[in-house]
Amino acid sequence: MVTIVPVETPTLGDRSYLAHDGHVALVVDPQRDIDRVLDLAESTGVRITHVFETHIHNDYVTGGLALAKVTGAAYHVNAADVVAYERVPTGDGDVIDVSDALRIRVIATPGHTYTHLSYSLESGGERVGVFSGGSLLFGSTGRPDLLGPDHTHALVHHQHASAQRLAAELPDQTQVLPTHGFGSFCSATQSEATFSTIGQEKRTNPALTQDEKDYVAGLLAGLDAYPAYYAQMGPANSAGPAAADLTAPQPADAAALRGRLEAGEWVVDLRTRTAFATGFVPGTFNFGVEGEFATYLGWLIPWGTPVTLLGETPEQVAEAQRELVRIGIDRPAAAATGRPNDWTDRELASFERASFADLAQVRHHRPVAILDVRRAGEWRESHIDGAVNIPIHELLGRVAQVPAGEVWVHCASGYRASIVASILAAHGTQVVAVDDSYTEQAAASGLPLVVSPGQHTKAVA
């Protein structure tokens, strides 16, 4: 009997997998923090003998090489990938017998990258599932533009052909087991689904229900920005990442924190946006660890800038540190725990939080600027009339374009707005963070919306 266990990394929107027969296990696309997989294998009582990479990842640093070294497993990477480490060179049509009950059949599925592979899992002659990486996802496919605009056109056509190949070669009952598509920017679109099969995808996936021309046009039209740190991931994964170091960072007192701020380093407050707004150390930035912490910190920070973490507890700091190693920020410069008064001898700063209803009311009484920090695609669908759009990932390069005076910042739910509010506060802006749901409350509050053709007001209100 075959058991497939997904290992979720929801903050990056990815899944890894451990599949086993009760004795022997294989792992597909492991994240950098391999202790989770090792603990799972130990608790299950299985031995990891094979590790497979579907592709050289763009959104996280792999733990595949480190896991293979620790376990002695064979490390399968496409023979066509140029890497700086020893691997088992793997290619289209290869058949790997993992155990008497587990067999992997390799299928070339270019599109997300040129050398992308999918792995069909067989047991007892049955095609149990296909580890499809960034190829066929739930209701979508992996995006084809991460290697740069010169390759997008070729890759999007490859992606359509690869999805068609999987649908043609695998039975309808075969489980689809993608790495991306659960919030990762590696996916062309996102899905709420948690399970799918080849048969289900044949009925619903645009790559399988549309002709190539319509699929290509629709996918390309829907692409939006992706995190800047992605540019660092491919080279890191090709070089062969070492195991993650999750030992506690160097502690920092108030004087040390002040020195780091004055040196232009990033001092990041991990608390919730509610707690941060009430009182924070001037100059610190709020990236709450409860949200898409690593995605947005990695997207905004000038790569290589030292990062110091501030958390209420050591556990909060440890969680953030784990998130950071997944994207290649290996060691925080320092850390401190406790409360804001423990971190500075100066007066704390603060800013107001508000709702869209508050914004609608205040506009009747005094002029305020509205800064929408959602991505361009979100803005095109719907936005508040008169608002200025500076997507969060463009903010640091466009601070001079932020309107003067009192600025009300909003996003879709409040997380990104708090990040931007903290950055603007550090630049001396009088800021109010709108901590509210755009979809549910913007139109309901009476704010005038500009809605793109084809969008229903209710869906974006």
Q: What is the residue-wise DSSP string for 172-233?
A: TTPEEEESS-SS-TTBSS----S--BHHHHHHH-HHHHS-HHHHHHHHHHH-----TTHHHH
The CATH homologous superfamily to which domain 254-343 belongs is: Rhodanese-like domain (3.40.250.10)
User: pTM value?
Assistant: 0.94
Backbone angles phi, psi at 261, to 5 degrees: -65, -45
Q: Return the H-helix or E-strand segment holding 165.
A: helix 149-169
Kindly state the tokens that stand for 76.
Answer: 């399968």
- Domain boundaries along the sequence of the chain: 3-239, 254-343, 352-460
For residue 281, report the phi and psi dihedrals to the nearest 5 degrees. -70, 125
- The whole-number mean pLDDT for each consecutive block of 10 residues of the chain, a chain of 461 residues, reads 95 96 98 98 98 97 98 98 98 98 98 98 96 97 96 98 98 97 78 86 97 97 94 97 96 98 98 98 98 96 98 98 97 97 97 98 94 96 97 97 97 98 97 97 95 51 19
CA distances 307 to 169, 231, 269, Å, are 48, 19, 10
Model pLDDT, residue 443: 93
Vertex 402 angle, CA 396 and 405, to 5°: 135
* SS3 of residue 75 by DSSP: strand
For the domain 3-239, what is the CATH superfamily, name and number? Ribonuclease Z/Hydroxyacylglutathione hydrolase-like (3.60.15.10)
Tens digits of residue pLDDT in 144-175: 999 999 999 999 999 999 999 999 999 999 99
* Fold classification of 352-460 (topology level): Oxidized Rhodanese; domain 1 (3.40.250)
Q: With CA atoms as reference, report the closest residue to 13 among 175, 227, 242.
A: 227
Q: What is the three-class DSSP state of 67?
A: helix
